[in-house]
Amino acid sequence: MEVRASHILVGDENKARELKAKVDIGDDFATLAKAHSKCPSKAKGGDLGFFKRGRMVPAFDKFCFSNKQGATGVIKTEFGWHVIKVTGVKK
């Protein structure tokens, strides 16, 4: 199984939760990623493409492989706070 996800990487929990709230009310994820993310993936609207289990850090993997397409959430890793959106799943 592979999943496709996008993320916005920020430095603190409050900012991550603020951005997730914007996504939840319909703001465009890619636009928010381009404006706020600290990750180079921001150039692609936060898109990380498809990946298999074990390619990302454990907390990121756990969220992506435990949720369905369309799910969004906020997690913390050693890189900072992530707003994640699962954008695809393929078997």
pLDDT tens string 34-77: 999 999 999 999 999 999 999 999 999 999 999 999 999 999 99
Alpha helices, H only, the chain: 13-24, 29-36, 58-66
Looking at the 3D structure of the chain, how many domains does it have?
Answer: 1
| CATH number of the structural domain spanning residue 77 | 3.10.50.40
User: Which structural domain, as residue segments, surrounds residue 49?
Assistant: 2-90
pLDDT tens string 25-35: 999 999 999 99
- In this predicted structure, the answer to whether residue 18 has a pLDDT above a threshold of 90 is yes
